[in-house]
Amino acid sequence: MPLVSLREVLERAEEGGYAVGAFNCNNMEIVQAIAEAAEMERAPVVIQASQGALKYAGLNYIVSLVRAAAESIRVPVVLHLDHGTDREQVLKALRAGFTSVMIDGSKYPLEENIAVTRQVVEVARPMGVSVEGELGRIMGTEDNIQVDGQEAFFTDPEEAQRFVAETGVDALAVAVGTAHGVYKGEPRLDFDRLKRIRELTRIPLVLHGSSGVPDEAIRRAVSLGVRKVNIDTDIRLAFLQKVREELDRRPEEIDPRRILGPAREAAREAIRYKMRVFGCAGRA
């Protein structure tokens, strides 16, 4: 199928009361793992690229890989820019063929975040491209940008209401206790806050840093209005653990495919599992 917009996929998720998995990619094997998982689970899927992925693989490679993946399967695929930094970069992604973009103005004060985000909505909407905004700061490390405990703060529900009304975003990333990267200890989500944000905004919410969050917590977040769940670290872990195992098992191996092939399968199985937890399996 050709790529579709995030809005289209989220509208159906809203009707069905489930969340779509948004998986980060940065090479061919991961893109294939995500696409194969989506096809096998009959799940709509978001394949997303962060700043680090674009730097590593190159914008055009990512677009070509994801297009090829989407065209080889029968379920809807969204190509999404993860944590877009500014208007220029978002424009580049739009021209290259992304069907959804995130503009992350969460490091700015509210007024400025609203202004930056609204600008992006104004250019993206006429092109049929969806926009995800972020309010509140999510802890952890994303592509070397570190947000520690003191800088991080949870999304304020009243501010979220204003942010959504004034920007017109299609989806909102919220800070409710998840973190990017690997957790030290078990994450605790602020479900009351999540519920309140949803009541006041009535739009699809996005959970970042969802790797390592217990399945039950994810399911509860989905029941409260989370419609897109971002996963990066858990795929990396599955992929690399298999790479290590295979390298240990056959130290004489000279064919990268014999190492990366099984790693791709391991990543695919990790993704399939997540799709079942999010409720998007069987929905496409």
Site for Zn ion in 201-220 (CB under 5 A): 208
How far are the Cα atoms of 54, 211, 232, 249, 259 from residue 244, in angstroms, in the given order?
A: 25, 20, 18, 8, 9
Of 32 and 51, CB closest to Zn ion: 51
Q: Of residues 82, 104, 170, 234, which has the active-site annotation? A: 82
Of 193 and 208, CB closest to Zn ion: 208
DSSP code for 151: T
Under rule CB under 5 A, residue 228 binds Zn ion? no
Active site residue 82: yes
Question: Minimal distance in Å, beta carbon 176 to Zn ion?
Answer: 13
**Residue span 119-158 as binding mask against Zn ion, x where in contact by CB under 5 A, dash where not:** ----------------------------------------
Beta bridge partners of 172: 133, 205
Of 5 and 178, CB closest to Zn ion: 178
Question: Minimal distance in Å, beta carbon 253 to Zn ion?
Answer: 35
Of 208 and 283, CB closest to Zn ion: 208
Contacts for 158-166 with beta carbons within 8 Å, 24 or more apart? 158/200, 159/110, 159/135, 160/135, 160/197, 160/200, 160/201, 161/200, 161/201, 162/110, 162/114, 163/110, 163/113, 163/114, 163/117, 163/133, 163/135, 164/133, 164/201, 164/203, 166/114, 166/118
Question: Minimal distance in Å, beta carbon 226 to Zn ion?
Answer: 13
Question: Minimal distance in Å, beta carbon 209 to Zn ion?
Answer: 6
Question: Minimal distance in Å, beta carbon 19 to Zn ion?
Answer: 15
Give CA–CA dist 207/223, Å, rounded: 13
Question: Minimal distance in Å, beta carbon 83 to Zn ion?
Answer: 6
Contacting residues for 49 by C-beta, under 8 A, at least 6 apart? 24, 25, 26, 57, 62, 66, 79, 80, 81, 82
Q: Contacts with Zn ion: how many residues (CB under 5 A)?
A: 1
With CB atoms as reference, the residue minimizing the distance to Zn ion is 208
What SS3 class is residue 140?
Answer: strand
**Residue span 160-199 as binding mask against Zn ion, x where in contact by CB under 5 A, dash where not:** ----------------------------------------
Of 208 and 236, CB closest to Zn ion: 208
Question: Strands, E, within 27-137: which ranges?
Answer: 45-49, 77-84, 100-103, 130-135
Of 59 and 229, CB closest to Zn ion: 229
Q: Which of 125, 133, 69, 74 is nearest to 99 (CA)?
A: 125
- Residues marked as catalytic: 82
Binding residues for Zn ion (CB under 5 A) = 208
